[in-house]
Structure 1
Amino acid sequence: MHVMRVTADLRVADIEAAKSFYTDYLGLATEEFNMGWVARFTSPDSGANVQLVTRDATAPEDPVISIHVDDVEGAYEDAQRLGYEIVHPLTTESWGVRRFFVRAPDGNVINIVYHPS
């Protein structure tokens, strides 16, 4: 598995209410997507980004970060082989990503995700 990008997933009560802080104040002005329950805001200059999440649409828990990888199947197999708790099984979501959630030994839930080209 090769990590391509790491994105913070911040829990917010209301994406629209939180949006101006991240866009106007922090300058993460590009809204890459907004699905109502999750939105990603990115700096047009540096590519730095953050995802705001109200409640994950399909998983039982919310992740704290999303790890974008090139081989999600291999990452899933490795997590199982190593005995890590799978919180959300390997799934191709209706919006096109393939992902699973794994609990790190410290208790944090991590979204391991692959975005097809």
Structure 2
Amino acid sequence: MGASRIVPNRFADDSAAGRAFFTDVLGLDLAMELDFISTYCAPGHHGAQISVIANDPSGLKPDYSVGVDDVDDCHARAVAQELEIVYPLTDEPWGVRRFFVRDTVGGLANIVEHRTS
């Protein structure tokens, strides 16, 4: 299992609220936008990202997201270590499979694998 990106998550009433700052001031590209999240990435460095989230459909506020190539394996290892699974392994309608786990320093991690159909 390998992590391909680690993304800090910021929360705002409007997920598009930071667009001018992230694109015009910092020069980031808009990598993904759904009704509840906008993700920006550094041009040519798609592992360098930041997300602005209005309301995650889980109802939770993960501190960061980690993109992995095998979320099922990562989930099994978290369970084997008896870590707290805060949001169950779920296939989301926007094309990701993910779960939330409490890390060992108290943060809430969104572990996600993008699925292609």
Aligned to 1:104: 103
Aligned to 2:10: 10
CA RMSD of aligned residues (A): 1.4
Identity %: 36
Q: What does residue range 90-101 of structure 1 map to in structure 2 within 5 Å?
A: 90-101=89-100
Which structure features the higher share of strand residues? 2
Change (3 A) 1:82 1:49: same
Q: What does residue range 1-117 of structure 1 map to in structure 2 within 5 Å?
A: 1-28=1-28, 30-47=29-46, 48-57=48-57, 59-117=58-116
Q: TM-score, normalised by structure 2?
A: 0.89
SS of the residue corresponding to residue 94 of structure 1 reads: coil
In structure 1, list runs of 5 or more residues that go unmatched: none
In structure 2, list runs of 5 or more residues that go unmatched: none
**Distance (Å, rounded) in 2 between the aligned partners of 1:42 and 1:105:** 27
SS of the residue corresponding to residue 16 of structure 2 reads: helix
Q: TM-score, normalised by structure 1?
A: 0.89
Contact residue 60 and residue 88 of structure 1 kept, 8 A: no
The AA in structure 1 aligned to 2:113 is: Y
